Structure 1
Amino acid sequence: MFSKTVLVVLGLAASVLAAPQPIQVEVAAPDALNATLSAQAADYQNHWGTGTVYDQQGGYGSCGQMHSDWDMIVAMTFAYQGHSWPPAMCGRQVVITNTGNGNKITATVADTCPGCRTADSIDLSRGAWNALTNGAAPGVINIQWYML
């Protein structure tokens, strides 16, 4: 009887010791994680979208800096920038080609474009727009782009 009691007590002790213990895991906020994944995906592929022009109006971009209309800067969509601070793509270089005329530029991401038509569309400063369109009136152009 004593040996059975010892076996039962040992069995219970083993099951308590083997029971799963809670662990703490830190998980990035979904928006920050999605923006990071989108930023990483942008590095490895070409994207096609539309390009539009926007004015700086003397204000700060979502990346926290002021720029002139003639700086070679762009605004990316929330799909790449995310909704956290700082936006995921700030300061990154993007190579953009106007697919209509072949003009190509390298610009810096300095803002977020909440009104862009698609996730792969980009808002261009006047300087970037003029370089891509040979100074055409503001409108919409088809673009191809990738991150450096």
Structure 2
Amino acid sequence: MFSKTFSALLFTALASVASASPALQARQGSGLATYYDPNGGTGACGNVLQNSDFIVALGEDTWDGGSHCGQTVNVQCAYLFPPLLLMLKRVLLAPDQGNTVQVTVQDLCPGCQGANGIDLSEGAMAALDSNYINDGVISVVWSFD
């Protein structure tokens, strides 16, 4: 009796975890971050955006029809891109690995790089990578708050 009850409980618990996994995966990602200058334009969420705002434009795979507008996203610099220069940059430039910023979803990035690519405002990118103008693209890990 105990083993049947235990098996049923274990199966139910595993099924719950399995069904929750897609939701968890949709709430975080790692990919490439680029930056852009909104220059007072209106973002896809309907708000006027400035270059100094800490905002993010999500790629089409994550956009989900704008359902994330206004959500906070934590973005951490993973390493500087391109990977072939990573070793040289670590030795010579001491990249800003580990820097983290909080940004708000305010825009759509149809041209973002890769499945979890994001586009940060210039202000947010500068806070992540002090050499952002030369780097242009960095690897990041991000998650919804």
The aligned runs of 1:103-118 (5 Å cut-off) are 103-118=99-114
Question: TM-score by structure 1 length?
Answer: 0.66
Structure 1 position 81 matched with structure 2 position 28? no
2 CA distance for matches of 1:77 and 1:105?
18
CA distance in 2, matches of 1:98, 1:40: 21
- Identity percentage of aligned residues: 38
5+ residue gaps, structure 1, are 1-37
State the match for 2:69 in structure 1. Answer: 90
Asked if the contact 1:39–1:89 (Cα under 8 Å) also holds between the matched residues in 2, the reply is no
- Name the CA distance, whole Å, in 2 between partners of 1:135 and 1:106: 19
Structure with greater proportional strand content: 2
TM-score w.r.t. structure 2 length? 0.67
Higher helix share: 2
What's 2:140 paired with?
143
The structure having more radius of gyration, on CA atoms, is: 1
Structure 2: segments with no counterpart, 5+ residues: 1-21, 80-96
- 2:60 partner letter: F
- CA change 1:81–1:39 in 2 (3 A) is farther
Change (3 A) 1:102 1:124: same
| Residue identity opposite 2:73 in structure 1 | V
| Count of residue pairs brought into register by the alignment | 106
CA deviation digits over 1:101-148, x for unaligned, max 9? 111111000000000011201100011000000253151000011111
Q: Distance in 1 between matches of 2:108 and 2:47?
A: 12
Matched AA of 1:75:
A
Change (3 A) 1:62 1:116: same
Q: Is the 8 A contact 2:60 2:110 kept in 1?
A: yes
SS for the counterpart of 2:123 is: helix
Q: Which has the higher contact order (CA 8 A, sep 6+)?
A: 2
1:78 shift after superposition: 1.5
CA RMSD, aligned part only? 1.8
Q: Are residues 126 and 68 of structure 1, via their aligned partners in 2, closer, same or farther at CA, if it must alter by over 3 Å?
A: same
